[in-house]
């Protein structure tokens, strides 16, 4: 049998190719991978691991995204080729089809509940912060909901842009500021002028005379109704006093 001799000193001088250690860590589940994707919103950097997508950002460069990920997520990151099907799942998610899995490790149970509830808001619709607080069983935690959404590590795909202030004002947005929020909502079909006109008039809900149901102004329930069949309310008590019941789809109030 032939004897193979190794020069351990020479082996010790061999350097691994750049990024080799990070790729090994990613394959072992100890680091996340990332790539940049062209989307309807422009280039978006997306990080993922075995559990799902872990972060997203419209960054100026790979270096900026990597630095933000290290500081905010706290794990190592390596650039890689995306797995098969991820690009199509991203496109579908932005079109309102929920096909993506997410890794929300590191977030508090409260923040995870906020983000998972936000995922339920349909494309082309908006909900107030108070709606999320009520839906997750913490009706008084409206400010905390806002904080959780401001720190959403996966904007665009977990659609925090679909959450607005209770007075109907669009509000701020961690994924690029108010203008970016308006642009994305417009792209999704939200009639911002109508929404803002109602907000300025102090009108929070719309009802349909034929169904006696009241909704949030972007709910699809009343979209087929004629304009003359709409009636608007300042608050829930006004709507109920007029004999209207809350919509079971958008749930503007607790459904008895």
* Residue tagged 């929300």 (tokens): 104
Catalytic residues: 160
pTM: 0.85
H or E element in which residue 195 lies: helix 192-200
Q: For residue 12, what pLDDT is reported?
A: 52
Q: Helix or strand or coil: residue 173?
A: coil
Domains of the chain (ranges, CATH numbers): 24-94 (3.30.160.70), 109-190 (1.10.10.10), 203-246 (3.40.10.10)
Q: What is the pLDDT of residues 44-91, one digit of tens each?
A: 999 999 999 999 999 999 999 999 999 999 999 999 999 999 999 999
How far apart are the C-alpha atoms of 94 and 11, rounded to whole Å?
A: 49
> Which residues of the chain fall short of a pLDDT of 50?
1, 4, 6, 8, 11, 16, 18-22, 28
Distance of CA 70 to the CA centre of its chain: 20
């Amino acid at each position: 049998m032939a004897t193979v001799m190794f020069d351990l000193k020479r082996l010790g001088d061999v350097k691994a190719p750049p990024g080799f250690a990070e790729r090994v860590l990613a394959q072992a589940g100890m680091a996340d991978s990332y790539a940049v994707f062209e989307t309807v919103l422009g280039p978006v950097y997306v990080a993922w691991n075995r559990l799902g997508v872990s972060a997203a950002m419209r960054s100026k460069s790979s270096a900026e995204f990597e630095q933000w990920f290290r500081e905010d997520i706290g794990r190592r990151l390596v650039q890689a080729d995306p797995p098969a099907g991820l690009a199509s799942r991203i496109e579908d998610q932005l079109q309102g089809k929920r096909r993506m899995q997410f890794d929300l490790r590191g977030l508090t149970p409260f923040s995870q509940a906020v983000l998972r509830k936000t995922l339920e808001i349909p494309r082309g619709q908006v909900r107030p912060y108070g709606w999320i607080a009520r839906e997750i069983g913490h009706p008084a935690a409206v400010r905390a909901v806002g904080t959780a959404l401001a720190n959403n590590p996966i904007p665009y795909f977990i659609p925090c842009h679909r959450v607005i202030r209770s007075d109907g004002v669009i509000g701020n947005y961690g994924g690029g500021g108010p203008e970016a929020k308006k642009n994305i909502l417009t792209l999704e079909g939200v009639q911002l002028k109508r929404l803002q006109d109602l907000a300025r008039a102090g009108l929070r809900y719309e009802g349909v005379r034929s169904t006696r149901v009241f909704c949030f102004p972007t709910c699809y329930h009343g979209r087929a109704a004629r304009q003359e069949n709409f009636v608007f309310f300042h608050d829930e008590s006004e709507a109920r006093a007029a004999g209207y019941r809350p919509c079971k789809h958008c749930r503007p109030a607790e459904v008895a």
